[in-house]
């Protein structure tokens, strides 16, 4: 068998997340369907670095699987994209990797980006790709609130009640809030980096930081929420449409040879 890693981009609006779901179309399902057009894949199927929720987008999802045939990576990428042309899923890179490589367990860092569009008129071109808020946001206040979240903490307040992780403790390496002015309104980008995240952790953090930016709570309230270790202390959860799985990092990078 030959193991391959795939870097995948997708528009999440059409899919029930990455993971296969009964009665719903997932990214995994359409990707494995494209693979099966080339050759049968094992019962284990594909393994992804992150199980994105319904509506969440990806610019750098990574998955791996075993194939019986040996493929030249560029040819495999082009063949898969030909079978995916009717879907909003694309393969950006393919790499042949060793049997010890795991898209999930070999990852050393996951990077997510959340996009907020702050302006009165709703988006037309970016509808479904950003969280639109009609009010101004104080980015400096959001940055002060975000500082309380960086480091190793018990994130019980900021994880879904359905989270299956054994421990709520995670290390958030960085949480950067950036302002990008536009001709009409502004875009706020929130970039989170960590080895791993809890279920809906980022959307929960962003939802609370938006309340800070709107002036409804003070930045120090984020520290109080964190210390409460109580899901009911969390602010509203930000919608899925603004969240992107931006990148998965590995050492060494299996795609580096492909440029």
Same domain, yes or no, for 61 and 142?
A: no
Q: Point out the domain boundary residue: 86, 106, 126.
A: 106
Domain of residue 191 covers 109-246
DSSP 82-101: HHTTTTTEEEEEEEEE-TT-
Which of residues 135 and 42 earns the better pLDDT score?
Answer: 135
Residue 254 lies in a domain: no
φ/ψ (deg, to 5) at 35? -60, -40
Residue 256 lies in a domain: no
Residue 255 lies in a domain: no
Q: Point out the domain boundary residue: 106, 121, 147.
A: 106
SS3 28: helix
Q: Point out the domain boundary residue: 106, 121, 140.
A: 106
Q: At 41, is the pLDDT very low, low, confident or very high (cuts 50, 70, 90)?
A: confident
Same domain, yes or no, for 65 and 122?
A: no
Same domain, yes or no, for 58 and 138?
A: no
Q: Please state, rounded to an integer, the average pLDDT across all residues of the chain.
A: 95
Residue 52 lies in a domain: yes
Compute the distance between CA of residue 83 and CA of residue 90 in angstroms, rounded to an integer: 10
Task: Check whether 259 has a pLDDT greater than 80.
Answer: no
CATH number, position 68: 3.30.70.580
Q: Could you read off the pLDDT of 97-132 as tens digits, one per residue? A: 999 999 999 999 999 999 999 999 999 999 999 999
pTM of the model: 0.95
Residue 253 lies in a domain: no
Same domain, yes or no, for 101 and 123?
A: no
Same domain, yes or no, for 15 and 143?
A: no
DSSP label at residue 156: G
Same domain, yes or no, for 114 and 237?
A: yes
The domain total for the chain is 2
CATH number, position 207: 3.30.70.660
Give mean pLDDT, residues 148-169.
96
Residue 168 lies in a domain: yes
Give mean pLDDT, residues 137-148.
98
Same domain, yes or no, for 143 and 158?
A: yes
Residues 103-121, buried b or exposed e (16+ Cβ, 10 A)? Answer: beebbeebbbbbbbbbbee
CA torsion sign for 131, 132, 133, 138 is positive
pLDDT value of position 40: 80
Residue 113 lies in a domain: yes
Q: At 45, is the pLDDT very low, low, confident or very high (cuts 50, 70, 90)?
A: confident
pLDDT value of position 258: 60
Same domain, yes or no, for 45 and 95?
A: yes
Residue 46 lies in a domain: yes
Q: At 43, is the pLDDT very low, low, confident or very high (cuts 50, 70, 90)?
A: low
Q: What percent of the chain has pLDDT over 90?
A: 92
Same domain, yes or no, for 125 and 54?
A: no
Q: Which positions are catalytic?
A: 53
Q: At 211, is the pLDDT very low, low, confident or very high (cuts 50, 70, 90)?
A: very high
pLDDT value of position 156: 97
Same domain, yes or no, for 15 and 128?
A: no
Q: Could you read off the pLDDT of 231-247 as tens digits, one per residue? A: 999 999 999 999 999 99
What pairing do the DSSP bridges indicate for beta strands 131-133 and 109-118? Answer: parallel
């Amino acid at each position: 068998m030959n193991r391959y890693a795939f870097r995948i981009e997708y528009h999440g609006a059409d899919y029930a997340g990455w993971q296969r779901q009964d009665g719903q179309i997932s990214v995994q399902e359409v990707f494995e369907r494209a693979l099966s057009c080339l050759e049968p894949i094992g019962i284990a199927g594909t393994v992804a670095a992150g199980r994105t929720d319904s509506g969440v987008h990806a610019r750098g999802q990574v998955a791996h699987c075993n194939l019986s045939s040996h493929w030249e990576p560029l040819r495999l990428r082009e063949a898969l994209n030909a079978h995916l042309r009717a879907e909003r899923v694309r393969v950006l890179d393919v790499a042949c990797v060793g049997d010890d490589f795991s898209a999930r367990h070999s990852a050393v860092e996951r990077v997510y980006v959340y996009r907020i569009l702050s302006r009165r008129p709703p988006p037309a071109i970016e509808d479904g790709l950003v969280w639109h808020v009609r009010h101004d946001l104080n980015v400096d206040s959001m940055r002060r609130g975000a500082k309380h979240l960086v480091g190793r903490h018990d994130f019980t307040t900021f994880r879904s009640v359905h989270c299956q992780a054994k421990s709520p403790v995670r290390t958030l390496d960085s949480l950067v809030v950036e302002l990008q002015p536009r001709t009409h309104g502004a875009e706020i980008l929130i970039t989170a980096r960590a080895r791993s995240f809890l279920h809906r952790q980022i959307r929960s953090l962003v939802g609370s930081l938006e309340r800070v930016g709107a002036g409804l709570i003070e930045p120090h309230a984020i520290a109080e929420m964190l210390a409460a270790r109580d899901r009911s202390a969390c602010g509203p959860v930000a919608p899925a449409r603004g969240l992107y799985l931006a990148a998965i990092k590995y050492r060494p990078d299996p795609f580096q040879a492909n440029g």
